[in-house]
A and B are shown apart, each in its own frame.
Chain A
């Protein structure tokens, strides 16, 4: 019985291991700039995943730049004040800081829905933005901060830093995807769907809607912080714009672009977004936003469930994030 279960689990994991393997050899085949683009796309995909997780409860965060910036500035501050350069510790720090922020703001935000929730998240992110801008002595103001490449488990990556960051990001992304997938198949994951469908019934079953939303928000914030931290590693420069509303808007944009029918959809959305932006910018530096806008329009019209629906056109409607269809 157990053996059969193990082998079934292995069979289920095989395609993902194959994908992971392919992604692992990819940087050897790609030019450096493309490897860098993928690294950034993967890191930002974590923030997008955070937005998507909230969207499953019908909550649109227009302020996820807040966690993105919090994760990134954790790296900056830790390097500047604590002389910390170890990636694992910095990642841990970013997770703790963004988690603590989400725990605090969540107390307040979990009371709100719809446009109020969206506007409040936006407001908080803009508060952080202006703090990052104003506290020049601490944050470097508009100049932002330069973050030296971290050591990874004590190893200084040196010339191979680009590739090292790619792998580090890939590992973090894979872990976060696995954890999030597990979360979504858990009672709490289903509670989020239940809350989206019918809050009254949730309360009338004896569960707290606010608590469900609070915990979901916590996960979402931590994912955002992790993404910001990884971007700081690979880009090496952080700025207040990380918390600016256009950045948050990009994350929402990419969530819609990729869809949220699977935890992998945000990754797809993020990669496509970075590629399109890159090429659109190269083609027409002044109107690239217009190209992006046109693409979003087409997606909303023809692929309302995002790019991911191209890969999984008949995903079960019920609980598409989990493996529920496998019975």
Chain B
């Protein structure tokens, strides 16, 4: 299978904190990978390194066999890597629909057009279709600022998905979503991801969620990957169990 993402020996420190410590991983096309690990173990840092928000002190990153180390987030995104954020990053004074329209127009590379309307019939239809996939209906006209946290998380993911990526990186897509809603949200997300076949990596704190949706789990600790297994094998491992239970 094609390797979509490969990180080799990534290192990044903040002062004395090693947020990435000789971190290497390969992710193949079509995989759905879960990342777990305690707070501060470097999960978000890993996504920041891959997307070029941070540049590693050492190590290389390859995307589809091409080195992308040191590229700017914009360039990485243009190559086909999209991400969502632990804290939703949205256009809060625009409506849900407008957020989606902006994503779509940027995807098509027409964001510099100052003459034609943003709201073309085709683009509106596409935006509504995508929003519907993610469970947005009547809220489409709502200004994002007024959306509940759960809705904002979902929109954040929907926007990155709308960019049509080859690799989708989701940072805690269900944080801020109520326990009761978690599985409904994940069912929606993973459903869309499976349907599109996009290679995905999601960071998640809730072990039940990881066990249910990931095909492969990376356990982070102090900037290292201490385990890399299918969820079944992983959660049978007594060390990991103790480690994870200890964390909870």
Interfacial residues, chain A to chain B (CB-CB below 8 A): 182-183, 185-191, 193-194, 196-198, 200-208, 211-212, 215, 219, 317-319, 324, 327
Contacts and interface: CB of A to CB of B under 8 A. Distances in A.
A197 B98 contact: no
A317 B143 contact: yes
B51 A204 contact: yes
- Which label, helix, strand, loop or mixed, suits the secondary structure of the A interface? helix
Interface stretch (B29-37, B55-63, B112-120, B217-225): B112-120
- What bracket does the count of chain B residues touching chain A fall in? 35 or more
B183 interface: no
Contacts of B160: 204
Given A186-B117, A215-B112, A324 B103 contact: no
B101 interface: yes
Interface stretch (B12-20, B85-93, B207-215, B237-245): B85-93
Most interface-central of A185, A206, A324 (chain B CB within 10 A):
A206
B93 A183 contact: no
Contacts of B90: 197-198, 201
Nearest to B120: A187
A318 B94 contact: yes
A186 B114 contact: yes
B93 A207 contact: no
Contacts of A211: 112
A317 B93 contact: yes
B77 interface: yes
Contacts of A208: 74
B141 interface: yes
B102 interface: yes
A198 B85 CA distance: 13
Contacts of B110: 187
B236 to A, nearest CB: 37
Contacts of A191: 102, 106, 111-112
Nearest to A182: B115
12 contacts: A187-B102, A188-B113, A189-B114, A189-B118, A190-B105, A197-B92, A201-B89, A204-B73, A215-B112, A318-B98, A319-B98, A324-B95
The 10 closest A-B pairs by CB, nearest first: A206-B77, A197-B91, A188-B114, A201-B89, A187-B105, A205-B106, A206-B78, A207-B106, A318-B95, A203-B74
Nearest to A191: B111
